[in-house]
Amino acid sequence: MSVLCRAGIVLFFFCLCGVFPSPSPAADPVVEKIRKAYEGIQDIKGSFVQKSVLKDLGRTDTFRGTFMIAMPSRMRWHYRGEDAGQQTEVIIHGDEMIIYQKKEKQAFRGRFDRETYGQAPIALLSGLGNLEKEFEISVKNGRLMLKPKKPMGNVVSLEIVPSDGAFPIASLGITDRHGNRIDITFRDVSLNTGLAESAFEFTLPKGASMYENK
């Protein structure tokens, strides 16, 4: 996988747009629904479609995959690109992140924190239960428009499209400071299925190499 292609996968995403009107969001029913839903979530799994618009390159990349999250800090997702051999896994456990590229037979281990949300967009899902603490919130056409109160790497804004289902988020849009945009649509989401800790363990495949990102 080329550097640019890899950047299209892990860019933020993230892993975020424009004008933020100023209604009072604290009483908004969408904010309250998300807060209440997250109070009862122990784990989440499902599938997704991610479209990454890379402004400077003038192209759009589409990825599909599956994801798992065990609150509060274990995550794993699997990307499949348009090329059948283009597969990437991202595993997060606490403050550690591993990115494994199957075709290249290589993995990268590094630190995960607020500055790396741009490399791990779906990881934002684990922290959306306390929107008022992390974001300035406004509501526009039934969607939540969020601006991080503290720096999140290159992420400048997020847009949440609410869902009518038990999991309250249908899609997540992220815009970065370079004008790149990532939209992730979630599908077939299940909650509290009792994901085992082993589901988040990573074993380096035979013949693959591990590189440490300091």
Residue 24 lies in a domain: yes
Contact, 210 vs 109, CB < 8 A?
yes
In the predicted structure, residue 61 carries a pLDDT above the cut 70: yes
Residue 109 lies in a domain: no
Residue 174 lies in a domain: yes
Q: How many domains does the chain have?
A: 1
pLDDT tens digits for 17-43? 333 333 445 558 888 889 899 999 999
pLDDT tens digits for 113-138? 766 665 566 677 877 877 888 889 99
Residue 198 lies in a domain: no
82 vs 171: which has the higher pLDDT: 171
Question: Mean pLDDT, the chain, as a whole number?
Answer: 83
Q: pTM (2 decimals)?
A: 0.80
Res 158: pLDDT: 93
pLDDT tens digits for 173-211? 999 999 999 999 999 999 999 999 999 999 999 999 999
Residue 17 lies in a domain: yes
Residue 15 lies in a domain: yes
Residue 139 lies in a domain: yes
Residue 94 lies in a domain: no
Which structural domain, as residue segments, surrounds residue 119?
A: 3-41+48-62+114-192
